[in-house]
Chains A and B, each alone.
Chain A
Amino acid sequence: AQTVTQSQPEMSVQEAETVTLSCTYDTSESDYYLFWYKQPPSRQMILVIRQEAYKQQNATENRFSVNFQKAAKSFSLKISDSQLGDAAMYFCAYRSAGYSTLTFGKGTMLLVSP
C-alpha cells in the first residue's frame, strides 16, 4: 500500500516570504498523481496544485509551485510571497493511476505572521 509522509507538523513564515512544505511517498507504481490540498480553519478542502507523474515539468499555479523528484519520491510545495490567507493545514495526497481514492499525509500546519 502507498504511504505519504509529511515530516513537518508545523511551519512558520512571514508575510511576503517563501516557504517550502515537504512530502515524500512510497510506491512501486510508475504512473500516479500527486496533489496538495489546503484546509483553512473553515475546514473546506481546497485543491492547490496537482502533478501527473509522467510529466517531468513541475506544476505551477500562481504563487504555488512544486518540486517533483520522481526518483527520490519527493513532492514539495513552495509558496512564494506568502499571504495571511495562506495560513492553513496543507495535505499532500497520492492517487494511483488506476485507482480513484486519495491517500493523504498527516498534514503540515502553516502559520503566517505579519
Chain B
Amino acid sequence: DTAVSQTPKYLVTQMGNDKSIKCEQNLGHDTMYWYKQDSKKFLKIMFSYNNKELIINETVPNRFSPKSPDKAHLNLHINSLELGDSAVYFCASSQFPSPLHFGNGTRLTVT
C-alpha cells in the first residue's frame, strides 16, 4: 500500500539517450511534484502539477518534459541525457496544506 511509488529505483544510461521515470500516488492528492536532489544533497523543485495542469515550471532545460495523464500519475521524460543530469529525482504529492509525501527516489546515473 505504498503511498507514492516511482519506478525505476535506479537508472543507468549513456549520454544522449532518452529515459522516463514514472510516478503514481494512491493518496487522492490533487498536486504532484518532481524534485531534483544533486550530488550535494540539495533538493530543488522542478515541476508541479495540480489536477493534471502544470502550475510550476522552474528553470529546467527543455529536455525535461513532465506528463500527467491523470491526477494520480506524473511521469518525467528526459531527452538527450547529459552527465549533469545525474542526480536523485523525487516524486511527491500533497493535498494543500498537508505536508508533501515523497516517493523513494530514482537515482539516475549518466555515463
Task: Report the minimum CB–CB distance from A61 to chain B (whole Å).
Answer: 12
For residue B94, CB closer than 8 A to chain A, the reply is yes
Chain B residue at minimum C-beta to C-beta distance from A46: B102
Evaluate contact between A45 and B56: CB separation under 8 angstroms.
no
Chain B 57-81 interface residues, beta-carbon cutoff 8 Å to A: none
Evaluate contact between A44 and B102: CB separation under 8 angstroms.
yes
Task: Report the minimum CB–CB distance from A95 to chain B (whole Å).
Answer: 8
CA distance A44 to B90 in the complex (A): 9
For residue B31, CB closer than 8 A to chain A, the reply is yes
Chain A residue at minimum C-beta to C-beta distance from B100: A102
Residues of B contacting A50 with CB < 8 Å? 99
Query: Quick one: given A44-B102, A101-B56, are A106 and B97 in contact (CB under 8 Å)?
Result: no
Query: Quick one: given A100-B48, A100-B96, A101-B48, are A107 and B41 in contact (CB under 8 Å)?
Result: yes
Task: State which size class the interface on A falls in.
Answer: 20 to 34
CA distance A101 to B56 in the complex (A): 9
Query: Which residue numbers of B lie inside 8 Å of A, CB to CB?
Result: 31, 33, 40-45, 48, 50, 55-56, 88, 90, 92, 94, 96-97, 99-102, 104-105, 107
Query: Which residue numbers of A lie inside 8 Å of B, CB to CB?
Result: 33, 35, 37, 39, 42-45, 47, 50, 89, 91, 95, 97, 100-104, 106-107
14 A-B pairs besides A45-B92, A100-B50 with CB distance below 8 A are A35-B99, A39-B41, A43-B104, A44-B102, A45-B90, A89-B41, A95-B97, A100-B31, A100-B94, A101-B45, A102-B45, A102-B100, A103-B45, A104-B43
